[in-house]
Amino acid sequence: MTSFRKKPYTVPFSLAISGIALAIWLLLRLVLSLQVGFSQMALSEASGVFFNGLWFDIAALAYLIVPWLLVSALIPNTLRGRAWVNKARWVMAFLVMFGLLFGAVSEFIFWQEFTTRFNFIAVDYLIYTNEVIGNIRESYPVPLILLGIAIIVLAALFALSRWVRFETAQRSGKKRLSLISVALALPVLSYQFSNVDQMEFSKNTYANELSGNGVFSFAAAARRNELDYDKFYKTLPQAQALSILKAVGVNRKTTSAVIAAQSNDHSQSAQSLGSFTRRPKNVVLISVESLSASYLGTYGNQENLTPYLDKLASESLVFDKLFATGTRTVRGLDALSIAIPPIPGQAIVHRPNSEHLATIGELLEAKNYSTFFIYGGYGMFDSMNTYFRGNDYKVVDRTDFDKSTIQSENVWGVDDESLFNNSLKIFDENVKTNQPFFAHIMTTSNHRPYTFPAGKIDLPQGSRRGAVKYTDYAIGQFIEHAKTKPWFKDTLFVIVADHCASVAGKTKLPVEKYHIPLFFYAPDLLPAGHYSRIASQIDIVPTLLDVLGTSGARHFYGQSMFEAAAKKMPERAFVSNYQALGYYKNDMLVVLSPKQSVETYQVDPKTLEVNSGNANANLVDEAVAYYQTTARAYKHGDLKEFVSAE
C-alpha cells in the first residue's frame, strides 16, 4: 500500500473527468431509487434502472467529454508538463466536479417536485430565472448547499490527489489525430444510437424515469418542446376522425358561426341552465394552484386542511369526478380559456401566435362583458400576460397592486388574501359601469416556498399542507367579503384547481392523481347538490357559456355538462403530460405517445387505480380523433376568432 501511494496512477484528464461524472450520476440514481423504494419495482425493473441508466450516462458523457478531448489534443507539448498547467487541471477538475454535483442536487430537488428527470419544465424554468431562482432561494438554504458542495468536492479531490496524477506525456501527431477523431465520433454515435424514448423500457414509470440521465433528458426536452401530432402520433383519415367525433356529440361550430350567433336574440333558449333557478349575471372563476381533490374533506381527506371549502361544499353544486388535463398551470389555463384537449408539447398559453383565439374571454367581451385575468404573481411568467391580453382580457398582476394592500409576498406571488382583496376592489369599480363581468383569478400561495401571512391558520409555513389550509382560509375570507357586495346575489363563483399537486405514480398517467375539485357556488341562483358524472376540465368553459345564455359553447371540444347529463352523452376525461395523451372512458384509459405508440389500461372505477387492460379499437379511434383534430385545428388557425369585416 505504501509503495502504491508513492507511485500514484497516471491517468488522462479526460478519463478522470469521465470517471467522476459516471460516479456522481450512479450515486444520484441510487439515492433517487432508495427514495422511491425498490418495493415499487420488480427485480427486472430495478436491474433495468441501472443497466439502462449506465447506457444513458455514457450517451450523455459522449457529449460532455468532447471539450476535454479537444483541449488534450490541441495543447502544445511545450506546455503539457508545466506546473501552472497541472494546477489549472486541478482547478478545472474542481469546477467540473462542482458543476456535476450541483446538477445532481438540482435534479434531486426537481425530483421532489415532479418525480421525473429534467424535462421540458426544466427547459421552461431557464427562461424565467427571476421567479425560479428566487423560488429556490426562498425554499432552500442555497448558500449552505453551495458551501457543502464545495467542501465535498475539495475533500474528494484532495483524496484523489494522493492516488492519481494527471498525464503530462508528450502527444504525437498520431495521438492528437486519434483524440480529435474520438471527440468528433462520440457525439455522432450517441446521437445515432441513443434516444430518450429508450427510457421507456418497462411499464413502471418510476423505473423508466430513474433509468434516465438528467443532462440527456434536458437536451432531449429542449429539442422536443413542441411535438407535431401528425409526425409523432397515431393518426386517422381526417374525415373519419370528424365522423367519430360527431358520433360522440362533438359537432363544432366554426368560429365565424359563433361570432354571427352573438347577435341572435333567441340564442338563449337553446342553452341548458341545469339546476340553476335563473342565469347569473357575473362569473368569478378561481383557479387554485395545485389543489388536488385528495386535500379536501369533501373528497375524503381526514386532515381538516380545507374547513371552509368543506363547509362551502354543503352550499354548492359539487362535481365529484372532474379531472385536470395536465400537470402544470399553463395546461389548466388552456382548459379554462379555450377548452381543448391538451396537445403535445407546449401549452397554447406558452406558444407564439396565441392571440385572438376564440377563448371564453373573447366571446364574452364581444357580448359587452368586462373580462379580467387577475394573477397574484408576475404575469410575464409562462407568457400569461401576453396570452390573456391578446385574447381580450384585462390583465392585472402583482405589479398592479398598491404595495400597501399586500400583507406578505414571496418570489412566486402575493398572499392569496391580498390577491382576493384587490380583486374585490376591481369588481366594485366595474359595477359602476353597469357591465357584467367575467373574472379569472389565479392564486399562488399553494406553491413552493409555501409562505403566507403569520397567525392565520394552525399549521406552520413552509409545507404544502400549511399552504393548502391557508389558501382555504383566504378563499373563505373572500367569499365572506363578497357576500356583503350588491353584485353577490347575481354572481356564480367557480372554484377549481389548475392541476394536481403531484402526478407521480407507477403508470405513465395515473388517473387518480388528476382528480381535482370543482364547486359551483351561487346560493341565490343554484341549489346545493352533486354532479356525479365523469367530466373534464375542458367542460367548464362550454358549461359557463350555456349557463350565461351566451352562444359559443358548440365551438369547443368540451361538453356543456348540464346538457351532457340531460342527453346522457358519453362520460370521458382527458389527462396528459407533455408527451403522453390520455383518454379516459368506460373504465379504460387509452394513452397515445410518440412513435405512433398506443397503450391501453383498465381503470378501477372506485380507486381509479390503473392496471394493464385491453381497450377496443373504437375507443382508441375516439382518442386519436379528439387529439388529432384538436392539434390540427390549432395548427391551421381554426381556433382563432375571426371578426366579420363589418
Q: What is the count of structural domains for the chain?
A: 2
Instruction: Out of 139-153, 317-331, 441-455, 535-549, pick the least confident.
Output: 139-153
Residue 140 has pLDDT above 90, yes or no: no
DSSP class of 409: B
Rounded Cα distance between 191 and 59, Å, is 8
pLDDT band at 271 (very low <50, low <70, confident <90, very high): low
What contacts 101, CB < 8 A, 6 or more positions away? 24, 149, 152, 153
User: Do 279 and 179 fall into the same domain?
Assistant: no
- State which of 174, 207, 225 marks the end of a domain: 225
Q: Please give the distance of CA 10 from its chain centroid, rounded to a whole number.
A: 48
User: Residue 212: in which H helix or E strand, if any?
Assistant: none
pLDDT grade for 643, boundaries at 50, 70 and 90: very low
Q: Where are the alpha helices (DSSP H) in 523-616?
A: 540-548, 561-566
- Confidence band (pLDDT; 50, 70, 90) for 266? very low
Mean pLDDT of 588-597: 90
Between 636 and 121, where is the model more confident?
636
Identify the pLDDT of residue 645: 35
Residue in the block written with cell 337553446:
270
The residue segments making up the domain with residue 17 are 2-225
| Amino acid 1: pLDDT | 44
Considering the domain architecture, whether residues 161 and 206 belong to the same structural domain is answered as: yes
Q: Determine, yes or no, domain membership for 593.
A: no
What span, in angstroms and rounded, lies between the C-alpha atoms of 578 and 344? 5
State the Cα–Cα distance between residues 249 and 229, nearest whole angstrom: 23
Mean pLDDT along residues 586-612: 91
Instruction: Tell me the three state secondary structure of residue 377.
Output: coil
Q: Does the N-terminal peptide bond of residue 449 adopt cis geometry, omega within 30 degrees of 0? A: yes
- Using CA atoms, how far apart are residues 357 and 338, in angstroms rounded to an integer? 8
Give the position of cell 354572481: 491
Residues 6+ apart with CB under 8 A from 502: 114, 115, 292, 513
Q: Whose CA is closest to 540, among 564, 559, 567, 521?
A: 559
Residue 193 has pLDDT above 50, yes or no: yes
Q: Is residue 625 part of a domain?
A: no
Shared domain check, 187 and 305? no
Same domain, 176 and 272: no
With a cut of 90, say whether residue 475 has pLDDT above it.
Answer: yes
Q: Which residue has the cell 366579420?
A: 644
CA 602 from centre of chain: 25
Residue 611 predicted with pLDDT over 50 = yes
Cβ pair 587, 605 in contact under 8 A: yes
In a domain, 80, yes or no: yes
* Alpha-carbon gap, residue 453 to 445, rounded angstroms: 10
Is 265 in the same domain as 321? yes
Could you give the CA distance from residue 629 to residue 343 in angstroms, rounded to a whole number? 10
- Grid coordinates representing 73 are 489534443
Residue 623 within any structural domain of the chain: no
- Which band of pLDDT confidence, cut at 50, 70 and 90, is reported for residue 151? very high
Residues 150 and 276 in one domain: no
Q: What's the pLDDT score for residue 550?
A: 86
pTM attached to this predicted model: 0.78
> What angle (nearest 5°) sits at the alpha carbon of residue 496, between those of residues 494 and 499?
160
Joined grid coordinates for residue 258: 359563433
Question: Angle, to 10 degrees, between the axis of helix 214-223 and the axis of helix 120-127?
Answer: 80
pLDDT at 525: 97
Helical H runs in 37-172?
43-64, 66-74, 77-80, 83-114, 120-127, 129-139, 142-161
173-196 mean pLDDT: 90
Domain end marker among 525, 559, 593: 559
Place of cell 398506443: 598
Query: What is the per-residue pLDDT for 84?
Result: 87
Cα–Cα distance for residue pair 397/247, rounded to 1 Å: 43
Residue percentage of the chain with pLDDT more than 90:
59
The CA distances from residue 275 to 44, 77, 272, 560, in Å, are 54, 85, 9, 13
Neighbours of 313 (CB within 10 A): 21
Does residue 78 carry a pLDDT above 70? Answer: yes
Say whether pLDDT at 448 is over 80.
Answer: yes
The predicted structure's pLDDT at residue 601: 94
- Secondary structure in 3-state letters for 236-285: CCHHHHHHHHHHCCCCCCCHHHHHHHCCCCCHHHHCCCCCCCCCCCEEEE
Residue 530 lies in a domain: no
Residue 416 and residue 315 share a domain: yes
SS3 126: helix
User: Would you place residue 86 in the very low, low, confident or very high pLDDT band (cuts 50, 70, 90)?
Assistant: confident
Residue bearing the bigger pLDDT, 256 or 36: 36
Residues 47 and 178 occupy one common structural domain: yes
Same domain as 289, residue 171: no
Same domain as 212, residue 317:
no
pLDDT of 321 > 80? The answer is: yes
Q: What are the tens digits of pLDDT across the range 368-424?
A: 999 999 999 998 887 899 999 999 999 999 999 999 999 999 988 999 999 999 999
- Say how far apart CA 444 and CA 498 lie, in whole Å: 11
Residues 438 and 476 occupy one common structural domain: yes
Query: Whose CA is closest to 620, among 235, 208, 148?
Result: 235
Q: Are strands 370-375 and 394-396 parallel, antiparallel or unpaired?
A: parallel
Establish if 176 belongs to a structural domain: yes
CA distance 74 to 517: 62
Beta-carbon neighbour count of residue 455 at 10 Å? Answer: 5
Please enumerate in sequence order all residues whose Cβ is within 8 A of that of 61, keeping only pairs 6 or more positions apart, or say none.
Answer: 18, 21, 22
- Say whether both 260 and 219 belong to one domain: no
Q: Where would I find the H helices in 382-462?
A: 384-389, 416-431
Contact partners, residue 46, CB within 8 Å, separation at least 6: 33, 38, 207
Residue 151 lies in a domain: yes
Q: How much is the pLDDT for 130?
A: 62
Q: What average pLDDT does range 451-463 have in this prediction?
A: 93
What CATH code is carried by the domain that includes residue 322? 3.40.720.10
Is residue 171 in some structural domain?
yes
